[in-house]
Structure 1
């Protein structure tokens, strides 16, 4: 039996227009001026929702997440508000005391913390091994930086992880940290905790109007999501990314971008090949054409792969039906990955594109590549930019420049680096600031609201059309009427209903 939902008298954001929308079998079957839905009216078995006083938009996507790690922030120590190493250690000490008092502290299980931002801390308030050892003793503790590109671990954790830890700072470098981080999932009780937090993260996402994610977790994402759908973690659409080192095995197994995941009822698909070409701004490892300011000896950042390796992986992906999703933050890294995409005719996205040489900005549209941006990072990094990119050879966070040059934009969070919340990204892109009390960062790079909203959807626009997936959101406030960042950032509270494939999930 076909499923039919009629949503009548829904407002169109930014206008006085109201519409009737017909959802049939997971697709938007029609969008009509209010009162003119003749077909829907003639079907008595339709579920009808009166949307008077509500506004309708396409469902929102977060186009760059590490979903498992984001889910775990809902149950781990969050250090994002720490303004110094000593403040972070005070928060850690309180967390350990609370765990000890509740009987949940196990000396054989890692205590994991998330999102410390040492790039914003004073020079005399940086991480040290001595400080974390003094607070933790023999309890293994591992803290992940906000951008997930380094870890701050105590000696007990370093021994158990088998990692090299700087004897002064207690920091573990990004490539070694990427591998070490996966070990926390093997701890006793970790699987049960992860399952609970994933379900909580899905509920949180749909409550904000999110209908889909691109998941670039550093894991066997295809198998992982097949298992999750089978276990009933099946509310969101998911594009499951693949990392280069696993690409050949995935190709041999017959997968390609867009192929449906079995058991997902059409909600799960194989995503793009995710390749990390360079580091990050906060760890001063994004690969740039000019040296970082205030750093001795001078450093330009690092590449994670050679240019030839990047080109080889792109060619392998493209020849076997895979899109690319290539992380590039520094301006020189962006030049290298754009060159590789041109040489291989790769299709897909450049992830982050945080600093671009002016000559490279038009190349996105010329090559047909999407710029997958995370506007909240600009809010988080604006002070770091002035500290470490004081004399950039490129333009940092060139959102409007990319749009004006014809590039297709897609927006996301890079959760857990920023919260999985498209409204934060939309607000940051539109207003260029988190607070009305602070001037916009690079106001010339701000985007029109309809562009930012459209870039947060799968369809790339702010309004529904017939033939779209029946992924929609009803709001009790018009987002186009948000005149301040605080108002736009509060939009999750105005999500009235969320539909995925025509099914009401919130």
Structure 2
């Protein structure tokens, strides 16, 4: 197969005109005239642009598969508007059926009364866009056994009224009080999420938790993985298995920890307080990340840590420096959303990838101005972090946001808070391809060169329209 167009090789070869593929490998790269002469019998097809296969470098594919079948609240910022959507959904369901959804962003925590009125005969559980908080109605709390006497779980909190009664808003691990009585997603949702990502032009997905690895192994064993899948295990399950490849499409690679929550839920762990005087929530204490991380490194796993707030970023970087002698794989810092000048020197000297989601700026910019007034320049420091020389890897955090390349492109090249942090289009593409491959520890991926895997994304008018994967050409 001979494909031609503007070929971005992401290697020292620079731009080329054509790529010749044999099976699942790239056999030749060069001028179209030369390759046409060398392979006269090859089937030809042209595209405006060809790149290494896009990686979705931070996603929760099972939860994305669930969200595809749930109430979409993306872009809603007022509780009344969300309640109206819930009321509309309730009219289509039998009494007692659960109403699930997610995607809203609120400035303040609402109470359950709005949802009680919208769906008096249905339990309701809605997650914020960042999935670090949730809003439930009285029926849902009752089914979960949540009462005024229910204690806050470790790493979570039930928002309460002046009398100590739960208001229906749950922060971080408190969501599990309701989530445990919900119908649980399984293999169907994981496969649905992965297939959707493949249809968007991705050839690799980096899984970041909230799903048991055995489901991915089932898909790998049955030949049903539509992408290469880099798997970070939840911290509670890593001792059950071993690191390594399962076939050529699934690598169980790392263990993930959460240092803090997220800005939209005011649970990101910040050095400077929020307007209400709080500093966010610590989820996995730094001491746990260091001790468990040390054990995981000794077992051959990589180490992945979610860190959004300034305090979380500072603390995790210090942990990485102490663990550096034990690491055989690249560390990953996920989100790296708020960074002070004082912490920039801590990035030096680490074998570290920075996994970021610039598209979150599109919704978070207003929240940064509101919750972190005076600290706007510490948010989403794309250019400053690029200048560390460490690989950047871009993703969406789906279902937190839709896994669309153009959203990250928009936010990263036209930074809503600080244009000095803009990246170039070429740098954004690099972070989706070569940078993401380096973050996965896959040195032969993310580039178009002879001998490399023939994982390609095909483009027209700045959007993915197809891909090459598993030796097959797919056009959407």
Higher strand fraction (1 or 2) = 2
Partner of 1:361, secondary structure, is helix
Q: Which runs of 5+ in 2 are unaligned?
A: 151-157, 439-444
Return closer, same or farther for 1:420/1:287 CA change in 2, 3 Å cut-off: same
CA distance in 2, matches of 1:470, 1:179: 45
CA distance in 2, matches of 1:500, 1:267: 11
Native 8 Å contact 1:12 1:19 kept in 2: yes
Among candidates 361, 364, 374, match of residue 357 of structure 2: 374
Moved more, 204-213 or 274-283: 204-213
Matches within 5 A, 1:34-433: 34-37=32-35, 41=39, 44=41, 46=42, 48-51=43-46, 53-97=47-91, 99-100=92-93, 105=94, 107=96, 109-119=97-107, 126-163=109-146, 164=150, 166=160, 167=165, 169-178=167-176, 180-181=178-179, 183-186=181-184, 195=188, 198-220=190-212, 222-230=213-221, 233-250=224-241, 255-256=242-243, 259-261=244-246, 265-292=247-274, 294-295=275-276, 298-345=277-324, 346=327, 347-392=330-375, 395-432=378-415
Q: Deviations over 1:402-421 (max 9, x none)?
A: 11121210011111111112
Q: Which runs of 5+ in 1 are unaligned?
A: 433-439, 480-490
Native 8 Å contact 1:214 1:271 kept in 2: no
Native 8 Å contact 2:383 2:422 kept in 1: yes
CA distance in 2, matches of 1:280, 1:58: 31
CA distance in 1, matches of 2:22, 2:348: 35
Among candidates 465, 470, 477, match of residue 454 of structure 2: 470
Return closer, same or farther for 1:35/1:362 CA change in 2, 3 Å cut-off: farther
CA distance in 1, matches of 2:373, 2:172: 23
Q: Deviations over 1:310-356 (max 9, x none)?
A: 11122112111111110001111111111111101143210000111
Partner of 1:36, secondary structure, is helix
CA distance in 2, matches of 1:442, 1:182: 41
Native 8 Å contact 1:272 1:322 kept in 2: yes
Aligned to 1:502: 471
Partner of 1:152, secondary structure, is strand
TM-score, normalising length: structure 2: 0.86
Native 8 Å contact 2:259 2:282 kept in 1: yes
TM-score, normalising length: structure 1: 0.82
Native 8 Å contact 2:89 2:99 kept in 1: no
Native 8 Å contact 2:143 2:181 kept in 1: no
Moved more, 21-30 or 161-170: 161-170
Deviation at 1:106, TM superposition (A): 5.2
CA distance in 2, matches of 1:474, 1:86: 42
Deviation at 1:176, TM superposition (A): 2.2
CA distance in 2, matches of 1:25, 1:96: 51
CA distance in 1, matches of 2:297, 2:357: 25
Q: Deviations over 1:360-391 (max 9, x none)?
A: 22433421211100001111100000111113
Moved more, 341-350 or 9-18: 9-18
Native 8 Å contact 1:79 1:114 kept in 2: yes
Native 8 Å contact 1:459 1:468 kept in 2: no
CA distance in 2, matches of 1:240, 1:247: 11
Partner of 2:34, secondary structure, is coil
Deviation at 1:504, TM superposition (A): 2.3
Among candidates 7, 10, 27, match of residue 5 of structure 2: 10
Native 8 Å contact 2:269 2:311 kept in 1: yes
Number of positions where the alignment pairs a residue of Structure 1 with one of Structure 2:
445
Return closer, same or farther for 1:23/1:88 CA change in 2, 3 Å cut-off: same
Deviation at 1:66, TM superposition (A): 0.9
Deviation at 1:183, TM superposition (A): 4.4
Native 8 Å contact 2:209 2:234 kept in 1: no
Q: Deviations over 1:241-291 (max 9, x none)?
A: 1122222223xxxx11xx112xxx411111321100111111111111111
CA distance in 1, matches of 2:200, 2:128: 25
Partner of 1:386, secondary structure, is helix
Return closer, same or farther for 1:17/1:232 CA change in 2, 3 Å cut-off: closer
